[in-house]
Structure 1
Amino acid sequence: MKTPLRLIVTLGAVVALTAACNPFGASSRERLPEDPRFAEFTFDSDNKPTVQERTDSFNERWPGLQATEGHVTIEYSPSDLFPNPDPELWVTGVATVPDETITALMEGTTSSTLLPGIYPGLYQYVPQDCHFVTIPADHANSVLQTNQDAIYSEWGSFDITDFAASTDCNLIIVTGEAIRG
């Protein structure tokens, strides 16, 4: 009786270890600590996202933003087509902006309990003591002069999907999607 039980336990352990090491069995998303202030990070990529310190990525996508400091992740979305003729990208970021930008964005504020679902590697750039309001995506796209139809430009088309701003910290948090032709 001990041998069949031992065999079942051994096979169960092998299956569990194999499934845990299988890159195709689970999401390829990196597991980073969660922060209850943020909505769930829902974007996926075939690559491990990296946080970049860039203001050009913000200011060229959104000419009205005028970011002075920024941290962003930009990755291609997985594609069922190979090669993808018009690759889709996702962008999440945190940027420091001037008072004028915050003031222009505040006209369309709403209250929300969760911040946009940014890549967890960006959480460290959002201080705990900042207070945010949610800005409707259409209002943010309008105020920041987002070029939503420039699929063949250097940066591609872009559409803000979630946006929040903090008047006390002069920060914005953004998520969005782009198509690059």
Structure 2
Amino acid sequence: MKLSLRLLSIASAVVALTAACNPFGASSRERLPEDPRFAEFTFDSDNKPKVQERTDSFNERWPGLQATDGHVTIEYTPSDLFPNPDPELWVTGVATVPDETITALMEDTTSSALLPGIYPGLYQYVPQDCHFSTIDPTHADKTLKGDNTQVNKDFTYLPFKEIAASHDCHLVVITAIGHSD
């Protein structure tokens, strides 16, 4: 009896250790840093999002933004259909914009205690001392869409899900989601 109890204990320990090291288990998701200023990052992808330094992604999608600096993550939402004929695309980002852009956006602010839920790898581009106003996404879509004449057709217009602007730091923080053409 003692031997079988001992073997059962050893087997249980091996199973527990194996489960903890399993790369396919639920705990294999990367733990992302949290920042209480931001809403929860809720987008999902088959790939780990990569932070890119790109102003073209902002300015081609939203010509009225006039970004001079920007960091984005762009990914496709996973689909049960393979291949997906109409893939959903999401973008989260932080961009430096001119006063005119901030002023135009500030014409329609809403109240929200949290900044948009961007990919946590972008938090470092939002200084702690910036003060933000939440912008109505419909207003931002109208204001920043521009003439819809895109130079690079690889960048499709995406409607804003959330957007916040900081007049003192000349920044916008965005989340957008839509379908690629």
Q: TM-score, normalised by structure 1?
A: 0.88
Deviates more, 1:47-56 or 1:139-148: 139-148
How far the C-alpha of 1:89 sits from its partner, in A, is: 1.3
State the Cα distance separating 1:176 from its structure 2 match.
Answer: 1.0
Match of 1:117 in 2: 117
Partner of 2:32: 32
Taking the aligned partners of 1:146 and 1:17, their CA distance within structure 2 comes to 56
Contact 1:90/1:176 (<8 A) preserved: yes
CA distance in 2, matches of 1:22, 1:94: 35
Find the residue that maps to 1:101 and give its secondary structure.
Answer: helix
SS of aligned partner of 2:158: strand
* More displaced stretch, 60-69 vs 7-16: 7-16
Deviation at 1:137, TM superposition (A): 1.1
Secondary structure of 1:95's partner? strand
SS at match of 1:158: coil
Number of matched pairs: 178
Q: What are structure 2's unaligned runs of at least 5 residues? A: none
**Is the Cα–Cα contact under 8 Å of residues 22 and 28 in structure 2 kept in the other structure?**
no
- Per-residue CA shift, 1:124-178, capped at 9, x if unaligned? 0000000111111111111111799x9xx52234121011000100000000112
Question: TM-score when scaled to structure 2?
Answer: 0.88
Percentage of matched positions with identical amino acids: 74
Listed as ranges, the gaps of 5+ residues in structure 1 are none
Letter in 1 for 2:155: W
**Partner of residue 126, structure 2:** 126
Match of 2:75 in 1: 75
Q: Is residue 2:71 matched to residue 1:99? A: no
What is the aligned-residue RMSD (CA, Å)? 2.3
Match of 1:16 in 2: 16
Deviation at residue 103 of structure 1 after TM alignment: 0.2
Cα deviation code 1:36-72 (max 9, x no counterpart): 1111101111111110000000000001100000000
Verify the 8 A CA contact 1:29 1:48 in the aligned structure 2. Answer: no
Question: Tell me, what secondary structure is at the counterpart of 1:117?
Answer: coil
